[in-house]
Structure 1
């Protein structure tokens, strides 16, 4: 499943996503990205100068794990 996510992300964003790109993918605000970045609740990232970049592969894995957790919670409530 993460392979399809990776391909889709790569076609849209290339090898790396900026914080703004990640906010768009996760459908959250940039301030939420900054807060989660401080709390360590985002995919692995690289600090390059004053920029924070997220490798597409790491984001795909993160999304796959995140959707798996949400499915388990929903399944547990039924």
Structure 2
């Protein structure tokens, strides 16, 4: 929910039953992120409807990892060649 002016009328109250272990995981995650449990659940639900964002992040990390690995291997190769 990134809109600037959000009122309570924009929300619908919903009772939700959760398994104890899932409740505990959400509670710990909300404490780590500094959000309320409600905000944590909303954030995770919103993200689950936008899997293309996660795919793009994974793709960027893989590209970065490959690029960094190639630079490292090039540097390592230069060090090995300079020792000859």
Which structure: larger Rg?
2
TM-score normalised to structure 1 length: 0.31
Q: What TM-score, normalized by structure 2, do the two folds share? A: 0.30
The structure with more helix, counted as a fraction of residues: 2
